[in-house]
C-alpha cells in the first residue's frame, strides 16, 4: 500500500495550462453590472417555505455566469428596515435561522449527487453533499470563494465555485449542461423563496432542479496538505508527535484522486457523549477530510436509519484485538466519469498484525428518468481470520414529477474459520406526490437473518421484515392571523417481523411538523405500539414479549430574538414488563444568550425518569430498574474576526438506576421473575473541550485543543443530581493537542 502511494505521488504532475479567456467576476460582495454582463438573470423567486409557490414577500435577484475560474453566482436581496436583519456570526456548517442564500448544483444533471453552498448575510458559510434527492450531509468542506455586502436597501452575496470542486462529466461543443437551484431565506420569519420552486420537503428535490447550459471550462488542481501535531497526555505524563499529508489531484472533472499518508485523526472535533446500554450500535458521522472529499459516489443507503454499505468510521475504528483504535497507514480514493457512467475506487490500510484492509468499488449509470448502480466492498481482517464481502445493486426511478421510487438489493458473504455464510437484503421506497398537498409513501425492507454488512458498512439490525404506509397533508396557505405559516400532518402504519416469523410489533403514528411566522419550528408526534417482541435485548438468548405501549414527543425551536434563542424537547412514554402501566418522561431546555453578534453562551439541562427500564445482564437475564438521570450541555462560541474562533463545550451526565426486579426470558418469550442477583448502579460521564482555531488560508488551520473526560460506573447513589456535579471530578483523560495543517495548491 505504501509503495503504491509512493508511486502515485512521485508520478503526479499537473501540466501547465494556458489561461482560458472568458468573463471575470471579482468576488467582493458588490453586484457590478459590468462584471455580470451576459449572465443568466433570475428574478422569479417563489415561496417554498411555506410551500405556496407565490412570489416571495421581498424581491430577490440572482445572476449565473460561467467563468474560467469557476461558476459565479450573485444574489441581490432586498430587505428594507421593516424586515429585521440577522447579524449573528455563525460557524461553518451552521444550522442557525439567519438571513442566508443557498446555491445547490447537480453538475451532471442526473439527479444522483448535488452540492450545497450556503452564505449568510454575515459571510458565514456552509456546504454539504446532497444524495437520495434530499439528504444533506454537511461533513464535507469544499474550497470556494464568497463575499457579502450590505446597504440600506438590502444585502448582496457573490459566490465562485471552481470547476474542480467535484467530479463532473465532460461537456460537448464547448458547452456544459448542469442543473441548479437557488434560494434565499429571511431569518426573522423563516420564509424561503427559490428558483425553481422545488422543495426538499417533497419526494423529489434534486431531480427538480432547473437545467441550464453554460460555457465549458476546465481547471486542474494539485493540493497537498501536510500536517504536524503534538499531543501531551497529562494523566499518563507522555507526549506524542506525528506528521503526515493529504493529497488531492484533480487534472480535470473526469478524473480525481485523493490520497492520505499516515493521517492524523486527533480529536479536534468533539463527539457528543453517548450512554448506550442497548443492543444497537450508535451511529457517528465522519468529518475527516479524506473521507468526506468526493464521497458522494459511494453513497449506498437504505430506508433503515443511517444504513450504508460503506461507513467510513470503521476505518481507524476499534482494533480487532480490542486494544485502542486501528492505526491507518494510508488510503487512496479514485473518482471519475466515462460518458454517462461514474466510477469510484476506495482502498484503506491499517498497520500491524491487527490491522484491516478496506476496499470499495462503485459504478453508476444515468438513463434519463432512472439511474442504476453497483457497489462492492471487502474487508480483510487477518487477526480474526475473516474476510467480509458485500455486493449491492441500486436503482432510482423517477417516471414523472409525482413519483420517486428507490430500490436496493444487496448481499453479504462472510468467510471465517473455514466456513462461509451468505445472505441478502432488499428494500423498496416509493413516494407519490398528489394534488392539494397530499402525499403517500410506501416502504418495504427485508434483511436476512445472516446478512452482515457491518465490517465495512452500517446496519442497525438484520433479521427484519418491515412494511410502512404513510399519508401526509400539507397546509401551506394559512390565514394571516394564524401564528403558523405552514403545517404538515402525517399518519403512518408500520409492521415488523423478524426472519423467524416473530411479530416485533405494529405501530400507528400521527405527527405534525409546523413552521411559525416568527421563524420558529415545532414538531409533535404520538406513537401507539401494539404488543410484540424484542429479539435483540438478550443478544440472541430469547425474544422477550413486550406489552402494548405508547410514546409521545414534542419539540420547539425558537431562533434568536433580541439577545435570546432557545429550544425545548419533551417526551412521555408508558413502561412495564407485563403491562405498560407506568409513565416515564424526559425533558430538555436549552437557552442561548448572545453577549454580542459574535459571542454567545448556552446552558441546557436534561432530565429523565424511566420506570421499568430493562437492561440486559447476560444470558437471558434482564434487570428492571427505576432510572433517573441529569445531563448538562453548556458552552460558548466566540468569533474573533473572520479567521479565528474559540469554542468551549461541556457535557456531563449523572445517572442512577435502582433495581426493581430480575427477570428471565423464557423460550416462549414470557418474562419470569427470578431471585438472581442484579445490582443497582450509577454512572458519571464527562466530556469537556476548549478549542481555538485559526484559519491561515482556505482549508489550512492551526488548532489548539484542550480536552478532558472520564467515565465511572459505581454502586447506586440515590442522588443523580449529585452525580452530575461529581462528574466534574472525572479525569480519565486530559490532553493538550496542537495541530498545524497548511494546504498548498500547485
Within 8 A by CB and 6+ apart from 331, the residues are 259, 260, 263, 290, 315, 346, 347, 348, 349
pLDDT of residue 704: 96
Residue in 262, 256, 194, 268 with CA at minimum distance from that of residue 223: 256
What whole-number distance in Å separates Cα of residue 349 and Cα of residue 356? 6
What local confidence, expressed as pLDDT, does residue 285 receive? Answer: 85
> For residue 180, is it within any domain?
yes
Q: CA separation (Å) from 536 to 463, 539, 546?
A: 10, 5, 12
CA distances from 655 to 624, 649, 725, 727 (A): 15, 20, 11, 10
**What distance in Å separates the CA atoms of residue 90 and residue 187, rounded to the nearest whole number?**
13
Range of the domain at 122: 18-215
623 and 615 Cβ atoms separated by less than 8 Å: yes
Q: Which residues are within 8 A (CB) of 609 and not within 5 positions of it... i.e. 6 or more apart? A: 584, 585, 586, 627, 628
Is 578 within the bounds of a domain? yes
In the chain, count H helices and then E strands: 3, 41
Asked, for residue 233, whether it belongs to a domain, the answer is no
Domain assignment of residue 38, yes or no: yes
Indicate the burial class of 297 (C-beta count within 10 angstroms; 0-12, 13-18, 19 or more). Answer: buried
- Work out whether the CA dihedral 720, 724, 729, 733 comes out positive or negative: positive
Q: Which residues of the chain have pLDDT under 70?
A: 1-20, 264-270
CATH code of residue 67: 2.60.40.1190
Angstrom distance (rounded) from CA 701 to CA 737: 13
Instruction: Name the nearest CA neighbour of 477 among 492, 488, 464.
Output: 488
Q: What is the pLDDT of residues 352-367, one digit of tens each?
A: 899 999 999 999 998 8
HSE of 134, CA atoms in CB hemisphere, 13 A: 11
* CA distances for 379 relative to 160, 280, 291, 319, 413, angstroms: 40, 21, 17, 13, 11
Residue 582 domain flag: yes
Q: Hey, CA dihedral for 503, 505, 508, 511, is it positive or negative?
A: negative
Picking from 182, 200, 215, the residue at the C-terminal end of a domain is 215
pLDDT of residue 265: 59
- Domain total of the chain: 2
Please check whether residue 728 lies inside any domain of the structure: yes
CA distance 135 to 310: 16
The Cα–Cα gap between 740 and 401 comes to 49
Comparing CA positions, the residue from 464, 395, 394 lying closest to residue 423 is 464
**Is the previous residue joined to 196 through a cis bond, with omega within 30 degrees of 0?**
yes
- Domain C-terminal end among 215, 230, 254: 215
How does DSSP assign 501-566, residue by residue?
S-EEEEEEEEEEEEEETTS-EEEEEEEEE--EEESSTTSSS--EEE--EEEEEEEEEEEEETTEEE
Of 177, 199, 215, which residue is a domain's last?
Answer: 215
**pTM of the entire predicted model:** 0.91
Q: Backbone phi, then psi, for 297, in 5-degree steps?
A: -60, -30
Which of 445, 443, 564, 437 lies closest to 513 in space, CA to CA? Answer: 437
Is position 97 within any domain?
yes
Tens of pLDDT, residue by residue over 131-163, are 989 999 998 999 999 999 999 999 999 999 999
Vertex 523: Cα angle to 471 and 115 (nearest 5): 80
Give the closest residue to 555 by CA, choosing from 567, 542, 572: 567
pLDDT recorded at residue 8: 43
How does 554-566 read in b/e, with b if 16+ C-beta sit within 10 Å? bebbbbbeeeebb
Query: What is the rounded distance in angstroms from the CA atom of residue 649 to the CA atom of residue 704?
Result: 14
The conformation of residue 172, written as its DSSP 8-state character, comes to: B
H helix or E strand, kind and range, residue 723: helix 720-726
What is the reported pLDDT for 4?
Answer: 43
Tell me whether residue 537 is in a domain.
yes
Query: Would you state the pLDDT for residue 670?
Result: 95
List the grid coordinates of 591: 437557552
Amino acid at each position: 500500500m505504501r509503495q503504491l502511494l509512493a508511486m502515485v505521488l512521485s508520478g503526479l504532475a499537473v501540466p501547465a495550462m494556458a489561461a482560458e479567456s472568458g468573463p471575470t467576476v471579482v468576488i467582493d460582495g458588490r453586484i457590478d453590472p459590468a462584471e455580470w454582463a451576459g449572465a443568466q438573470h433570475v428574478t422569479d423567486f417563489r415561496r417554498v417555505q411555506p410551500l405556496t409557490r407565490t412570489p416571495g414577500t421581498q424581491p430577490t435577484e440572482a445572476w449565473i455566469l460561467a467563468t474560467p475560474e469557476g461558476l459565479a453566482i450573485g444574489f441581490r436581496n432586498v430587505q428594507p428596515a421593516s424586515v429585521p436583519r440577522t447579524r449573528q456570526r455563525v460557524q461553518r456548517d451552521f444550522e442557525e435561522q439567519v438571513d442566508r442564500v443557498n446555491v445547490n448544483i447537480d453538475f451532471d444533471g442526473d439527479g444522483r449527487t448535488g452540492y450545497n453552498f450556503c452564505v449568510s448575510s454575515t459571510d458565514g458559510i456552509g456546504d454539504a453533499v446532497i444524495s437520495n434527492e434530499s439528504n444533506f450531509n454537511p461533513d464535507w468542506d469544499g474550497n470556494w470563494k464568497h463575499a457579502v455586502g450590505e446597504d440600506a436597501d438590502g444585502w448582496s452575496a457573490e459566490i465562485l465555485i471552481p470547476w474542480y470542486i467535484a467530479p463532473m462529466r465532460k461537456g460537448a461543443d464547448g458547452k456544459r449542461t448542469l442543473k441548479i437551484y437557488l434560494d434565499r431565506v429571511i431569518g426573522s420569519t423563516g420564509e424561503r423563496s427559490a428558483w425553481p420552486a422545488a422543495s426538499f420537503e417533497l419526494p423529489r428535490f434534486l431531480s427538480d432542479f432547473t437545467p441550464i447550459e453554460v460555457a465549458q471550462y476546465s481547471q486542474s488542481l494539485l493540493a497537498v496538505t501536510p500536517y504536524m501535531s503534538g499531543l501531551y497526555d497529562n494523566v499518563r505524563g507522555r507526549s506524542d508527535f506525528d506528521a503526515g499529508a493529504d493529497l488531492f489531484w484533480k487534472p480535470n472533472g473526469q478524473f480525481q484522486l485523493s490520497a492520505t499518508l499516515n493521517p492524523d485523526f486527533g480529536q479536534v472535533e468533539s463527539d457528543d457523549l453517548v450512554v448506550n446500554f442497548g443492543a444497537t450500535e450508535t451511529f457517528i458521522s465522519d468529518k475527516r477530510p479524506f473521507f468526506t472529499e468526493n464521497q458522494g459516489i459511494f453513497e449506498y443507503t437504505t430506508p433503515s436509519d443511517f444504513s450504508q454499505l460503506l461507513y467510513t468510521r470503521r476505518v481507524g475504528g476499534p482494533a480487532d484485538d480490542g486494544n485502542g483504535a486501528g492505526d491507518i497507514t494510508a488510503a487512496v480514493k479514485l473518482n471519475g466519469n466515462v460518458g454517462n457512467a461514474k466510477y469510484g475506487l476506495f482502498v484503506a490500510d491499517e498497520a500491524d498484525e491487527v490491522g484491516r484492509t478496506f476496499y470499495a468499488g462503485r459504478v453508476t449509470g444515468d438513463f434519463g428518468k432512472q439511474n442504476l448502480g453497483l457497489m462492492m466492498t471487502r474487508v480483510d481482517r487477518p487477526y480474526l481470520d475473516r474476510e467480509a464481502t458485500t455486493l449491492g445493486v441500486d436503482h432510482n426511478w423517477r417516471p414523472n414529477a409525482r413519483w420517486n421510487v428507490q430500490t436496493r438489493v444487496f448481499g453479504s458473504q462472510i468467510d471465517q474459520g473455514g466456513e462461509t455464510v451468505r445472505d441478502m437484503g432488499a428494500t423498496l421506497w416509493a413516494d407519490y406526490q398528489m394534488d392539494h398537498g397530499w402525499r403517500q409513501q410506501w416502504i418495504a425492507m427485508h434483511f436476512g437473518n445472516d446478512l452482515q454488512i457491518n465490517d465495512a458498512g452500517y446496519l442497525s439490525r438484520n433479521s427484519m421484515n418491515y412494511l410502512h404506509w404513510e399519508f401526509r397533508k400539507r397546509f401551506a396557505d394559512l390565514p394571516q392571523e394564524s401564528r403558523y405559516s405552514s403545517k404538515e400532518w402525517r399518519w403512518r402504519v408500520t409492521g415488523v417481523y423478524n426472519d423467524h416469523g416473530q411479530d416485533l410489533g405494529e405501530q400507528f403514528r400521527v405527527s405534525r411538523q409546523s413552521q411559525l411566522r416568527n421563524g420558529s419550528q415545532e414538531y409533535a408526534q404520538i406513537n401507539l405500539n401494539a404488543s410484540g417482541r424484542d429479539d435483540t435485548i438478550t443478544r440472541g438468548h430469547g425474544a422477550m414479549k413486550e406489552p402494548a405501549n405508547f410514546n409521545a414527543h414534542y419539540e420547539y425551536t425558537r431562533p434568536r430574538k433580541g439577545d435570546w434563542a432557545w429550544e425545548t424537547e419533551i417526551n412521555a412514554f408508558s413502561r412495564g414488563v407485563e403491562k405498560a402501566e407506568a409513565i416515564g418522561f424526559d425533558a430538555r431546555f436549552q437557552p442561548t444568550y448572545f453577549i454580542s453578534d459574535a459571542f454567545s453562551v448556552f446552558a441546557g439541562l436534561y432530565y429523565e425518569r424511566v420506570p421499568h427500564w430493562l437492561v440486559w445482564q447476560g444470558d437471558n437475564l434482564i434487570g428492571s430498574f427505576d432510572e433517573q438521570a441529569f445531563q448538562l450541555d453548556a458552552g460558548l462560541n466566540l468569533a474573533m474576526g473572520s479567521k479565528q474562533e474559540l469554542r468551549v463545550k461541556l457535557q456531563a451526565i449523572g445517572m442512577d438506576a435502582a433495581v426493581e426486579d430480575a427477570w428471565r426470558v423464557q423460550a416462549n418469550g414470557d418474562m419470569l421473575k427470578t431471585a438472581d442477583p442484579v445490582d443497582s448502579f450509577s454512572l458519571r460521564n464527562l466530556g469537556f473541550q476548549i478549542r481555538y482555531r485559526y484559519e491561515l488560508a482556505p482549508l489550512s488551520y492551526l488548532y489548539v485543543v484542550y480536552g478532558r473526560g472520564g467515565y465511572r460506573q459505581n454502586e447506586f447513589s440515590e442522588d443523580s443530581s449529585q452525580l452530575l456535579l461529581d462528574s466534574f471530578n472525572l479525569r480519565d483523560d486530559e490532553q493538550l493537542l496542537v495541530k498545524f495543517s497548511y494546504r498548498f495548491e500547485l
